Amino acid sequence: MENKSQMREWLDDFGLSHPLVIGGPCSAETEEQVLKIAHELKDSDVTVLRAGIWKPRTRPGMFEGVGAIGLKWLQKAKEETGLLIATEVANKDHVKLAIEHDVDILWIGARSTVSPFIMQEIADALEGTDKIVLVKNPVNPDLALWLGGVERLYTANIKKLGLIHRGFSSYEKTKYRNNPEWQIAVEAQNKFPDLPMICDPSHITGKRDLIFDICQTALDLNFDGLMVESHWDPDNAWSDAAQQVTPTRLIQIMKDLKIRKESDHEEAYNTALNNLRTQIDIADQTILDTLGKRMLVAEEIGLLKKSKNVAVLQNKRWNEILGKMILEGKDRGLSEEFILKIFKAIHQESINHQEEVVNG
Ligand code: PEP
Ligand code: MN
């Protein structure tokens, strides 16, 4: 992807205040709902109104969107408020209708990015147009698949491109609906610094209370924008009710976020430092989560040993673990001394947990 700098020109052309903020409901429900939300969001940091018209639902029988009629409501909202409009497209017919209705930004959903056939179909349908296209990460944590989707669009001469980070699904339940896996977004930014990166905290968290912190982390990682689902009556939304915030709340979130601007040398230094510190914080959090999980497994082993009346400390197994970790540590540039220290400490904590289970 040579000449990537073209990709972010659209963002600069907008002359919009940094960051770009996209707000609006998960789904367009009625004309009244779309217009009400648009009017509440105009004259704020939000410059683009989003609404899903065709909704990809995991299981059949749920609300699947109002269809093409919703594009008329979006158009009307644009006329009345001056907001740009954005919607999700998932096939060539959607693309055609969105273009006919003057949709400014088309985004590709996480369930479409996983499919090279769909990505190619969309890219072919867009060829020769001047549309801004944002590609959400695929549901699975696969950076190549994500960037592959962008490459298909770029090859079809779509040059106004961007990425939306909406988190990744995992079998394991966590506090998030979709795990952020920030390192994937950071790697995408490092590989393609000219591709604007927008965070979608709504689909990452699945819960409105967690949205602010995710927005702040995204801004600390130099993201270029935010896409936040917003509904005038979130609890009664027809889709994704738990994660939507009112327009008033979204406007307050934007006021409370710390937005760092790279205006001078000193600021550039601070921004870079902040970015790296945020990456350290994320890594530390992962270490803690993993240690917590390891201790839970150790406790289960304790219970098992108790039922068989087996001693907690098993030296042979422990020496095997240590030897393996020293070797693997070397591959990662970690000294033997460090590995010994850290794993001895982990092992001791595991023994303490097991003993508590066995004796307690
Ligand atoms: C959406 O933005 O409403 C949506 C369906 O998102 P995703 O593709 O990230 O699940
Ligand atoms: Mn949604």
Same domain, 274 and 331: yes
- Domain co-membership, 291 together with 197: no
Of the residues 259, 276, 304, the one at which a domain ends: 259
Distance 319 CA to ligand 1 centre (A): 48
- How much is the pLDDT for 233? 98
Average pLDDT, the chain: 92
The answer to whether 61 and 19 are in contact (CB under 8 A) is no
286 and 230 in a single domain? The answer is: no
Same domain, 239 and 285: no
Q: What is the pLDDT of residues 13-70, one digit of tens each?
A: 776 667 999 999 999 999 999 999 999 999 999 999 999 999 988 888 889 999 999 9
109 Cα–ligand 1 center, Å: 5
Same domain for 11 and 83, yes or no, is: yes
Across 85-92, average pLDDT: 98
Helical spans, DSSP H, in the chain:
9-13, 31-41, 69-81, 92-100, 110-113, 116-126, 143-155, 182-191, 201-205, 211-220, 247-256, 265-308, 315-331, 336-359
Number of folded domains in the chain?
2
Q: Tell me the two tokens of residue 100.
A: 């006919």
| CATH classification at residue 295 | 1.20.59.10
- CB of 166 closer than 6 angstroms to any ligand 1 atom: yes
Domain limits at 299? Answer: 267-359
List pLDDT tens digits, range 132-141.
999 999 999 9
Does the pLDDT value for residue 263 go beyond 70?
A: no
Q: Which of 259, 284, 300 is the last residue of a domain?
A: 259
Residue nearest to atom 10 of ligand 1 (CA): 110
Rounded Cα distance, 64 and 60, in Å: 8
Distance 128 CA to ligand 1 centre (A): 26
Is omega for the bond preceding 19 within 30 degrees of 0, making it cis? yes
Mark whether 12 and 107 lie in a shared domain.
yes
Least reliable range by pLDDT among 188-197, 232-241, 263-272, 317-326: 263-272
Q: What is the pLDDT of residues 212-224, one digit of tens each?
A: 999 999 999 989 9
Q: Cα–Cα distance between 273 and 354 in angstroms, integer?
A: 41
Residue of 316, 312, 310, 322 lying closest to 354 (CA atoms):
312
Q: Are residues 92 and 220 located together in one domain of the fold? A: yes
The pLDDT tens digits of the residues spanning 311-354 come to 767 788 888 989 999 999 999 999 999 999 999 999 999 989 98
Burial of 84 (0-12, 13-18, 19+ CB in 10 A): buried
| pLDDT for the residue 5 | 62
Give the residue from 215, 233, 259 where a domain finishes.
Answer: 259
Nearest protein CA to atom 8 of ligand 1, as residue: 109
Ligand 2 centre distance from Cα of residue 348 (Å): 45
Specify whether 20 is located in the same domain as 142: yes
273 and 237 share one domain: no
52 lines ligand 1 (CB under 6 A): yes
- List the alpha helices (DSSP H) in 63-113: 69-81, 92-100, 110-113
Same domain assignment for residues 245 and 287: no
